[in-house]
Amino acid sequence: MIQIIDIDLLVPFENHPFKERSGIEQQELTESIKENGLLEPIIVRPFPAGKYEIISGHRRVEACKALGITRIPMTIKELTKDEAIVQMVDSNIHREHILPSEKAFAYKMKLEALKHQGKTSCQLGTKLRTDEKIAETVNDSARQIQRYIRLTCLIPELLKLVDEEKISFTPAVEISYLSEYEQRTLLDQIEFTDATPSLSQAQRLRKFSEQGRYSTDVAFAVLCEEKPNQKEQVRFMEDDIRKYFPKNYTKSDMQKTIISLLEKWQKQRERNRRNER
């Protein structure tokens, strides 16, 4: 049943794994709602004190708030916490742009919710069947889903580097087996050497950890190795270029804009060379 409800009565989903977007994507969504209205009602469930918990539609709610819209259409569903988690994950997991950390915590939440619903047990064989059940609704295999869930074992600072594509996915999975202390010492060495581990390096770091031979010196030595495919990098300090972009632009937005401008500059140079002939 669809009802029109005050937007102030809405509360975000508890431990919502999908981050709010404040860049180009959110701007486009806001403009779409401004021009066409909210075409699809958000999905909520009853919450204490007469409020409603958002299951699907967090970004649309933020866009409506930015536009000053105070009442929006909602579909109210009577769901248990676990049922709500499953629906929340299913309604967000197919976003066009999704971070590894978002997938990691979303898959973990859904797997745990299915366990609570009695659709699985702690036995390994049953858990794998549950992974396969989740895999049926997404583009990741059951094994890949388990790899994503491993990322939730990373300390926040390392997981952020994965989201920023500074650490690749597969090496990050290997690093997740290090203890929290080992991960923090590794982070220190990553910052000190300005290098991140390749897959083979991450596998060796994990093996050193399992053998009780991991140390700060070991991490430093591994990261200082020259990689066969290592390429010289050009880096900009964010503070040096931030002033040229709107305040709500993310690092990804800035990178896309810089590449786009360079492509236009290159095309202009080619046209100028042709005209000079």
State the pLDDT at residue 159: 97
Cβ count near 268 (within 10 Å):
10
* Model confidence pLDDT, tens digit, residues 33-86: 999 999 899 999 999 999 999 999 999 999 999 999 999 999 999 999 999 999
Whole-angstrom CA distances from 177 to 104, 164, 198 are: 15, 20, 15
* Backbone torsions φ then ψ of 74, nearest 5 degrees: -140, 145
Of 275 and 163, more confident: 163
**Residue 182: Cβ-neighbour burial (10 angstroms; 0-12, 13-18, 19+):** buried
Give me the amino acid identity at 204: R
Tokens of 184: 């923090």
State the pLDDT at residue 121: 44
Tokens of 112: 């745990």
pTM of the model: 0.73
Check pLDDT > 80 for residue 214.
Answer: yes
Alpha carbon distance 218, 190 (integer Å): 12
* Model confidence pLDDT, tens digit, residues 151-205: 999 999 999 999 999 999 999 999 999 999 999 999 999 999 999 999 999 999 9
63 in Cβ contact with 29 (< 8 Å):
yes
Query: What are the sequence ranges of the domains in the chain?
Result: 1-78, 98-153, 155-223
Tokens of 199: 């897959």
Helix orientation angle between 124-135 and 142-150, rounded to the nearest 10 degrees:
100
* Model confidence pLDDT, tens digit, residues 5-17: 999 999 999 889 8
Check pLDDT > 60 for residue 133.
Answer: yes
Check pLDDT > 80 for residue 209.
Answer: yes
State the pLDDT at residue 183: 97
56 in Cβ contact with 42 (< 8 Å):
yes
Alpha carbon distance 169, 101 (integer Å): 10
Check pLDDT > 50 for residue 256.
Answer: yes
CATH class of this structure's domain 1-78: alpha beta
Supply the mean pLDDT for the chain: 87
Alpha carbon distance 102, 41 (integer Å): 23
